[in-house]
Chain A
């Protein structure tokens, strides 16, 4: 029976080629527009570290201005002062804790003929790599003693290793960064979480740093932060010392907390720390400390661009228009075929048989629309890539994976079936034989 319906469906589609093409095109274009935006939304809001995203917590303490919240409504600053970051890090109350800031170093390759170049750098503490599951190709993270002893050691990423050492194991070699000599202790494997969740203050879709070096070395070498620095109180005279003792926030902190009990006790620890700082006249605002896991932190930072939200809404409405279009056309088609239907009913076909026949036809259109939709999605993503071609990060956001391809086809077939239900229902309900009379 199914094959017979299939043949009837194909015949009916062939009988109205222009109309059938219009229906397929409408579904294809609707699915294409929708899935293009859904794909980007899906990647932007993806979980960059699914295996432990609920254990990693971004740490905030409210050291801000007594007269004005850092951000409404009563949000503490995203970053910490040098005083607080180092104190909280040294207390070591979490399973792991990491403090870091973004900077930039000039790499001076050994040969005379190669030009120096600048690379994004992260000054951090050794547990960064274990905490964020950063994979190593050669070597490993530096020892704790390097953090404590200001040892000039460095971890570089795969692409910098490729550029400088042709991909060879470079552990133990020396590297000159902005006039300082470092010993390479580790080379990372490819690692590019999207979004780059560990630092959402800067470009959240950018590449992770190429160079990682100990926080203490960056402090001793007075490396400037290239991330954001925010201050609510004037910095007194006294150069870099005064800046480090100031209320300016510029350091980020993450803590790994594995259970609700650990989270509670960490919050209590933060509150106790702030209470103690209040004694020495700091932290003029009421207690307002926060820990946010990766999902909550991404949410707070609105990593999904607002424009994508607007486009997603409009694209869904666009699909609705395409479906209304298909329903209208299918209905018109069914009405015109009322005579056939009526005749089949008169000859003994059940309502269920007519329903099946029409649904098969709609599914063929849905499948064709779905395949066209996948192609349209691909084209749509290429179009967006082209619009943002000045920014390298865009290529990460316009990738189509199998999940999205299958989603496109399934959405297309579901849409076509949804569009077919009402016209089919009308078709099944023709009275046998009445339509056979003259109009």
Chain B
């Protein structure tokens, strides 16, 4: 999993995990509970080469901002190491840290918040110079600030020096933030959603500026965003994250044009198209992003995945298997129970429970006709093999009796998917397959990968 040090690699992330809330509080001790930490980043290994522009994309809560903060040493990883130009940044002496801070900088999302509102532009941009002892004397430093401001196209620079952030527009503030990051000539910049708070017509200017600066100064960027079109515009390689895992990593164009991981596919399906004449299908994904405190077992995406892998001996359709797994997941979440059964209708309780539990919570175009979130799905329309139906009925009876553990166990006995039993290997190099059993060698069932 860990890649050896490659020539030209600037940053190596090796098995890094970051958990929050790991401290054991007094109440936990009193009640003998183990603290349940938030697993913001889990076992990420990536290599970033010099001159790369790497994108880290994903929805909120996927861990991308945490990863960004780890890269600039704002946090220490719970596990794993991050190496910058051969130096382990998790254990640095203070000289090494000073050197590190001179070479690595960050651009933050909110241009107003990242500048101290009580400091002038000059004060804010000169501060990194002062801290790192760069420049000889006040006027030299002032000159460097002016050069940095000119680099970010804030001209005439002198007029900006004594302004306060409140007097500047959003785009101007973000340029000041970039100037501050650049003024000490770093090698590596992490940009965390740098344009998401700017107006649309201003974004392009800032993004183009970042591209130009990269050309001019040979910078290496990590560009974090949830906006996939920006990722496409800015980056050459992208890592897609979900709940702390890197689930796909590769050249941006490839990922955008032919995404492999089902989550990546649904992300791109969900992006609205700017062409009003094109129709778009809604993303075929159920439910919502689960909590990072208690992520699903195995592949973290499996409860929502349209392409979940049935066991080798499954004889029904993939759709039916997906529904079976939805039922199983709602048992694990205790979302389904005796209270969902209406004693007045003619259908038996077991039938009702199955009918509700086998529903897919997806947009209408992906549902069966007549399927309804409330009424449930018509059991005959779902082609479950008889053994599966038998198992589900047993499980339903367990649920009606209140024994969820037995119900889950009954389903798992014969119908457990590799997707929930085994965590897929995460990619660490652009050539690696995505973190999905459909693509990993352990699953020899290539034909099943095409069936959907």
**A and B from one assembly?**
no
